[in-house]
Amino acid sequence: MEIVIPTWAVTLLVCFIGGLVAFAVARYNAYRTASAKFRDIVLRELCDFYPVFTRWHGASFENELSAKFPTLQAAVNDFSSNLSLSNSSAFLQAWLSYCNTTGRECDINTYLHYYDAYGPGETQAGATAKAQALFHSHISHLLSFASQT
């Protein structure tokens, strides 16, 4: 007994697999392009603060970050649409941690967690180092979603 597979079924299967591969390649290329664009914008906007601090002006730092917020927010919105659903939610949470002191959506674009205020037993230099380390870790976490391929 011979099994005969209809030609139309093979053609349909090959077209389906080819379509899936084409979709996956297009999605991956869009992600790579969006990653490069996001990295470029973040590194350009924050060039004075990341990866190496060339200046740190304490209280005026919040004003500088607030001025850069619209550009960075647009980059975040563009890039997050190219991430998978699970990565997108983690990425948006990382964004919220970067630009929000309290973690609440209504407090977005507040940067009090980067103030280098110090309390009893601390020095100004220690507080500044802690604030800079927190800022650096937030930016590194955001950029970790954008591969360098």
pLDDT tens, position by position, 114-144? 776 666 667 777 877 888 888 899 999 999 9
**What is the distance between the terminal CA atoms of the chain, rounded to a whole angstrom?**
52
What is the DSSP code (8-state) at residue 108?
B
pLDDT digits (tens, 9 = 90+) for 11-54: 998 898 999 888 888 888 888 999 999 999 999 999 888 888 87
Domain assignment of residue 26, yes or no: no
Q: Report the number of distinct structural domains present in the chain.
A: 1
**Residue 126, pLDDT score:** 80
Tokens of 101: 């002191």
Domain assignment of residue 25, yes or no: no
d(C-alpha 60, C-alpha 40), whole Å: 24
Residue 113 amino acid letter = H
Domain assignment of residue 7, yes or no: no
Domain assignment of residue 17, yes or no: no
d(C-alpha 35, C-alpha 145), whole Å: 8
Q: Which domain holds residue 56?
A: 35-143
Q: Measuring CA to CA, how many Å separate 33 from each of 18, 38, 39, 59?
A: 23, 9, 10, 35
d(C-alpha 111, C-alpha 20), whole Å: 44
Domain assignment of residue 23, yes or no: no
Domain assignment of residue 29, yes or no: no
Give SS3 for 100.
Answer: strand
Domain assignment of residue 14, yes or no: no
Which are the contacts of 128, defined by CB distance < 8 A and separation ≥ 6? 56, 58, 116
d(C-alpha 77, C-alpha 118), whole Å: 34
